[in-house]
Amino acid sequence: MAMAGGGASLHLINKPTIPPMACAPGTIQLPEKIRNSKVLVLGGTGRVGGSTAISLSKLCPDLRILVGGRNRDKGAAMVATLGGNSEFAEVDIDNVNSLEATLNDCDLVVHAAGPFQQTHKCSVLEAAINTKTAYVDVCDDTSYAQLAKTFKDRAVAANVPAITTGGIYPGVSNVMAAELVRLARSENKLEPERLRFYYYTAGTGGAGPTILATSFLLLGEEVVAYNKGKEIKLKPYTGMLNIDFGRGIGKRDVYLLNLPEVKSAHEILGIPTVSARFGTAPFFWNWGMEAMTSLLPMEYFRDKNKVQQLVQLFDPIVRALDGFAGERVSMRVDLEFPNGRNTIGLFSHKSLSVSVGTATAAFALAVLEGSTKPGVWFPEEPEGIAVEAREVLLKRGSQGTFNFVMNKPAWMVETNPKELGLGIYV
C-alpha cells in the first residue's frame, strides 16, 4: 500500500527545495526515504508517458518505474528501453478494479493516458485518492482540469498530494507565469495587467496520435479568455498574431485555443487579461485548422468518433510531413504592465516529445520530494509547487533547451534588431 512507503506521506517530508546531492553526472540523488519509490506511468507506452518514464529513470535510476497501458507488446518494448528497474502493468483506466489494484502498490501515478478532452470522469485521480497514491496528470483540457479540482477536499481528507496540468504546456508554462508575476510584484513593485501564453510546435512535435486528436477536439471548444477581468468567449483558431519566439524558432503565427492555464492563471495569479495561442508548422497546417473551424460546425469536433476518423485520415500525412517539419517546441510567456513595460519567459527545445517528458518528470519529482500539499492543485498554486521549489522545477524542466530565458524584456530575446532610439540598434 502506498501509504506506508511514500504516497500520502510524501508531503510530510516537507523539504521543497532539496538540492541535487553529489551523484553520477546527469542524475539526481533522492533522499533515502523516497529513492526507491514506485511510480506508475499511465500511458507509459505512448509518447508523452514513455518520454516521462525515460526521463525519470535517467534522472533517478533507483526509482521503480511501472509502465501502464493496455498493449503488452508496446509495454515490453518500453520496459526493454528502460531496463532493470522497470516493469509493465496491463491496466485500462476505464476499469476501476484493475486501476486500483495496480495503484495499491505505487507511491505516485503519472497520468498521461489521454486524450483528456471530452472525458467526463477523473477515474485515475479518484483511484489515486481511494488508494492514497500521489498524483500528477498532463491534462491539457479546461473542463477536465476544473473537474479534477472538484476532488480537492477528498484529496485533502485522504492526505493525497495531486497536481493537474503538470506537463510542459500547460505545466512548466504555468510555473514560468507564476514566477514572472511573483518577481514583478516583489522585486519591481509592478502590478501586471496582461498575461499571454504563446506556444509553437512544429508538426506534431514527435508526439503520438493522441495529440492530433487533441488538436481536433480543441476546435470543438469555445475559447475562454479574460479581458480586463471579464470572461469572454471566442472562436477557436482565430485572433492570429505573429510572435517572435527568439533564436532558433523566429517569428510564427499563433491562434487562440481553449487551454486550461488561461482560467487557472487568471484566477490564481489575479491577472485581469489572459489568453493563450498556439501555432504549428508547416504554415498550411494552420490554414487547414482555420479552414476546418470555418467550414465544420463546432459540434463535429465534439464527437470523439468523428475526430477519430479525422485522425485516421490525417495521421499518415502529418507523420510524413513531420519528417520535414522537425519537432521543435517553443513557449513564450508575456507579462505586460500598464506603463507599457513587459517581461517575458522563453523556452525552446528541439523536440516536444523529449521536453514534455523532462517537464513531466520535474513535476513527478517535486511531488515525490514533498513540494505539494494534500489536495488537487494547478502548478502555479503555491500549494501545488511550493514557491521555494519553483526554481528547481524550472531548472529540471528546462533541461535540454537551446534557449531558456526568464524575466527579460521582449526586445532582449527577439530576433529582429531593435532601435533603442537615436538610431542605436541592439
Ligand X SMILES: NC(=O)c1ccc[n+]([C@@H]2O[C@H](COP(=O)([O-])OP(=O)(O)OC[C@H]3O[C@@H](n4cnc5c(N)ncnc54)[C@H](OP(=O)(O)O)[C@@H]3O)[C@@H](O)[C@H]2O)c1
Residues in contact with ligand X by the rule CB under 6 A:
42-43, 45-49, 69-71, 74, 91-94, 112-116, 138, 140, 167-171, 207-211, 214, 356
Q: How far is the CB of 339 from ligand X (least distance, A)?
A: 33
CA distance 130 to 249: 44
CA distances from 384 to 59, 228, 284 (A): 22, 26, 38
Q: How far is the CB of 208 from ligand X (least distance, A)?
A: 2
Q: How far is the CB of 202 from ligand X (least distance, A)?
A: 14
Of 144 and 151, which CB lies nearer to ligand X in the complex structure?
144
Of 134 and 212, which CB lies nearer to ligand X in the complex structure?
212
Q: What share of the chain is helix, strand, coil (3-state, %, to 5)?
A: 40, 25, 35
Of 140 and 369, which CB lies nearer to ligand X in the complex structure?
140
Of 79 and 93, which CB lies nearer to ligand X in the complex structure?
93
Of 36 and 98, which CB lies nearer to ligand X in the complex structure?
98
Q: How far is the CB of 386 from ligand X (least distance, A)?
A: 20
Q: How far is the CB of 263 from ligand X (least distance, A)?
A: 15
Task: Give me the long-range contacts of 1-4 (CB less than 8 A, separation at least 24).
Answer: 1/104, 1/105, 1/131, 1/132, 2/103, 2/104, 2/105, 2/106, 2/107, 2/131, 2/132, 2/133, 2/134, 3/132
CA distance 377 to 367: 11
Q: How far is the CB of 133 from ligand X (least distance, A)?
A: 16
Grid-cell match 501502464, residue found: 68
Q: How far is the CB of 36 from ligand X (least distance, A)?
A: 25
CA distance 192 to 269: 10
Of 34 and 163, which CB lies nearer to ligand X in the complex structure?
163
Q: How far is the CB of 140 from ligand X (least distance, A)?
A: 4
Q: Taking a C-beta distance cutoff of 8 angstroms, is the pair 416, 425 a contact?
A: no
Go through 253-273 and write b for each residue having 16 or more CB atoms within 10 A of its CB, e for each that does not: bbbbbbbbbbbbbbebbebeb
Scanning 138-189, the segments in alpha helix (DSSP H) are: 142-149, 152-158, 172-186
Of 139 and 274, which CB lies nearer to ligand X in the complex structure?
139
CA distance 120 to 74: 27
Instruction: For residue 2, give the H/E element and its range.
Output: helix 2-5
379 by Cβ neighbours in 10 Å (0-12 / 13-18 / 19+) ranks as buried
Of 36 and 118, which CB lies nearer to ligand X in the complex structure?
118
Q: Taking a C-beta distance cutoff of 8 angstroms, is the pair 138, 112 a contact?
A: yes
- How far is CA 218 from its chain centroid? 16
Residues 6+ apart with CB under 8 A from 127: 96, 99, 100, 103, 133
Q: How far is the CB of 113 from ligand X (least distance, A)?
A: 4
Of 169 and 285, which CB lies nearer to ligand X in the complex structure?
169
